[in-house]
Chains A and B, each alone.
Chain A
Amino acid sequence: MLLEINPLVLPDIGLVFWNTIAFLVLLIVLGKFAWKPMLKAINERESGIEEALLKADKMKAEITAMQNENEALLAKAREERATIIKEAKEASEKMVNEAKDKAKSEYERIISDAQAAIAQQKNAAMVDVKNQVGALVINVAEKVLRKELSNKADQESYIKQIAEEVKLN
């Protein structure tokens, strides 16, 4: 019954025996000298590649960060430049204005001084004129009074003569 089945599906003990040996030999030898180094190398390579990729990503991130930093620095520098220029402009403007103000005030001072001096001298001159006129008037009056006292006609001609002599400045 069971033994009548096709010999094709009846395993031979010899083949099973040699097969077991062959398989075990392969398993041990290949396991130790082929699969182990192979898998180890493949794993190492893969982890190496992974590491390299991670490193590259990290570097990329670093470069981006650096770029951002540079840009920030650049922007800051630009801003600073702008402020400096602005400040310089302001300072120069201020200086010019100050100089202008100063010049104006000096000029005004000089003018006012001059006007004051003119006015003073004018006053002095006027006083002088007034004094001289006063003195002349007294002189004339004295001479007139004297001439009157001698000859009336002479006095008059004299007065005329004196009046002609008097030259107001």
Chain B
Amino acid sequence: MHLFNFYQELRLFKNFITIFAANFEIGMYLNRFKSLLVVSLSLMAIIFSTAVMANENHATADTNHAASTAATTAPHEAKEEGDFNVTETILEHIKDDHSWHLWGHTSLHLPVILYTSKGLEYFSSEKLVDEHHEPAVYHGNFDYKLVEGKTKIVDANGNVDIAASKQLWDFSITKNVASLFISVIILLVVLLSAANAYKRTGIKSAPKGLQSFMEPIVLFVRDEVAIPNIGAKKYGKYMPFLLTIFFLILTNNFLGLIPFFPGGANVSGNIAFTMTLAVCVFIVVNLNANKSYWEHIFWMPGMHWSMKLFLAPIELIGVFTKPISLMIRLFANITAGHILVLSLICLIFIFKTVFASAIAVPFAVFIGMIELLVAFLQAFIFTMLAAMYIGMATEEHHHESHEGAAHH
């Protein structure tokens, strides 16, 4: 068990280093009790991650290079119709935005809500762009301008006032926030009506309609996620939390796969979203952790004191790497999926011929199918690992007393 914990820390630590190794987590999870396999997979993951990181560095260098050339040549290129910057296009689709593109030239301008030293103010994001969709200066309590998609305070010359911008709190209803609200409304409508069906039809009749669609998922979360990881005695308390997390991630994953309104926002592929959920998991895990959990972290029982001293910082890091790995895994998987689909579609524009779609579209559809699987899988894995962490924190350790008895 201790050995296993140690390997898990190693695993999570490695996870912290590279986001791409997260993809191997599924396999690792399944073998969580086979430390031998964990070792071999860790080795494999490390080898892979080095390779990936090398590639990544290479890629980043390329992008940086491309970006800098794009920046230097931008004035010339901007005039040329049909010129196309892949990185920018893809990142634009993945990033958050103040307006939501509906169709053609129609966009939904979402409200900007800012909190500054002069108080709260809100205005339409329409005022931050001019008629050519270029950032414009809005004169509110301060002068605001969008710089790389983020609202900043600028001075009279249009330069960013860094000191003042640090005092700026942006609570805008962005595309992601709006999409999140839509998913919240969908969840409320669907789940409350499904729950009402139980009151209406009673428990004797078989579930119908939405109810029969939701019930297997709820049962899946209960029987495959909560009970095996937390235990049949204590799982009930955490079920609402796990179910809410699961359905929120699932809905946002699916909404993100819809390419047009009301989908198209990249909520679950946004680090803020995953961070919030991970922090919630962190809070729930540590608030419910029992004495033996903390004992296993700070003063590992059944070990020599020097080993205890050695293990304590590693275990302590583990407390934080667990939710961080959750955060990065979901973010990376969803973002990677979006980038993949967008890259394939961008092939058409890179080759500047419609015939490229003969390859790009089937591939994009194929990846889209995989993304559907990933959407479910990632929601499942996030919930599963959250349940596992809760289970580890609330586990009763009976073996210590036996060990203690053996020593006396």
- Judge whether A14 and B187 touch: CB under 8 Å: no
Which residue of A7, A9, A19, A30 is within 8 Å of B180 (Cβ)? A19
Given contacts A8-B271, A30-B187, contact A14 B244 (CB under 8 A): no
Question: Min CB distance, A22 to chain B, in Å?
Answer: 5
- Judge whether B171 and A30 touch: CB under 8 Å: no
- Judge whether A15 and B187 touch: CB under 8 Å: no
- Judge whether A15 and B335 touch: CB under 8 Å: no
Segment with Cβ contacts to B, from A36-44, A84-92, A95-103, A134-142: A36-44
A42 to chain B: which residues have CB within 8 Å?
Answer: 215, 218-219, 222
Q: Is A27 an interface residue (CB 8 A)?
A: yes
Q: Is A76 an interface residue (CB 8 A)?
A: no
Q: Is A10 an interface residue (CB 8 A)?
A: yes
Which residue of A12, A25, A26, A37 is within 8 Å of B272 (Cβ)? A12
Which residue of B148, B170, B188 is within 8 Å of A14 (Cβ)? B170
- Judge whether A26 and B184 touch: CB under 8 Å: yes
Question: Min CB distance, A67 to chain B, in Å?
Answer: 31
- Judge whether B331 and A30 touch: CB under 8 Å: no
Which residue of A13, A18, A26, A48 is within 8 Å of B169 (Cβ)? A13
A25 to chain B: which residues have CB within 8 Å?
Answer: 184
Question: Min CB distance, B69 to chain A, in Å?
Answer: 19
Which residue of A11, A13, A31, A35 is within 8 Å of B271 (Cβ)? A11
Q: Is A94 an interface residue (CB 8 A)?
A: no
Q: Is A64 an interface residue (CB 8 A)?
A: no
Question: Min CB distance, A53 to chain B, in Å?
Answer: 15
Q: How many chain B residues touch the partner (CB < 8 A)? A: 52
Which residue of A18, A27, A29 is within 8 Å of B177 (Cβ)? A18
B192 to chain A: which residues have CB within 8 Å?
Answer: 29-30, 33-34
Q: Is A104 an interface residue (CB 8 A)?
A: no
Instruction: Select from chain A the residue with minimum beta-carbon distance to B195.
Output: A34
- Judge whether A8 and B203 touch: CB under 8 Å: no
Q: Is B232 an interface residue (CB 8 A)?
A: no
Q: Is B172 an interface residue (CB 8 A)?
A: yes
- Judge whether A18 and B188 touch: CB under 8 Å: no
B188 to chain A: which residues have CB within 8 Å?
Answer: 26, 29-30
B280 to chain A: which residues have CB within 8 Å?
Answer: 23
- Judge whether A41 and B203 touch: CB under 8 Å: yes
B143 to chain A: which residues have CB within 8 Å?
Answer: none
Q: Is B52 an interface residue (CB 8 A)?
A: no
Given contacts A17-B171, A23-B276, contact A8 B91 (CB under 8 A): yes
Q: Is B241 an interface residue (CB 8 A)?
A: yes
- Judge whether A22 and B180 touch: CB under 8 Å: yes
Q: Is A16 an interface residue (CB 8 A)?
A: yes
Q: Is A112 an interface residue (CB 8 A)?
A: no
Q: What is the size category of the interface that chain A forms with chain B?
A: 20 to 34
Which residue of A19, A36, A37 is within 8 Å of B273 (Cβ)? A19
Which residue of B176, B199, B236, B271 is within 8 Å of A37 (Cβ)? B199
A45 to chain B: which residues have CB within 8 Å?
Answer: 203-204
A38 to chain B: which residues have CB within 8 Å?
Answer: 191, 194-195, 198, 214-215, 218
Q: Is A68 an interface residue (CB 8 A)?
A: no
A36 to chain B: which residues have CB within 8 Å?
Answer: 240
Q: Is A20 an interface residue (CB 8 A)?
A: yes
Given contacts A26-B244, A38-B195, contact A14 B172 (CB under 8 A): yes
- Judge whether B276 and A20 touch: CB under 8 Å: yes
Cα distance A23–B181 in the bound complex, in angstroms: 10
A9 to chain B: which residues have CB within 8 Å?
Answer: 271, 331
- Judge whether B198 and A37 touch: CB under 8 Å: yes
Given contacts A15-B176, A41-B203, A42-B215, contact A31 B335 (CB under 8 A): no
Cα distance A88–B196 in the bound complex, in angstroms: 76
Cα distance A11–B271 in the bound complex, in angstroms: 5
Q: Is B248 an interface residue (CB 8 A)?
A: yes
Instruction: Select from chain A the residue with minimum beta-carbon distance to B183.
Output: A22
Question: Min CB distance, A29 to chain B, in Å?
Answer: 6
Q: What are 17 residue pairs bridging A and B, where the CB atoms are less than 8 Å apart in the complex?
A: A7-B148, A10-B271, A11-B270, A11-B275, A14-B170, A15-B176, A18-B171, A20-B276, A22-B180, A22-B184, A23-B276, A25-B184, A27-B244, A34-B195, A35-B218, A38-B218, A42-B219
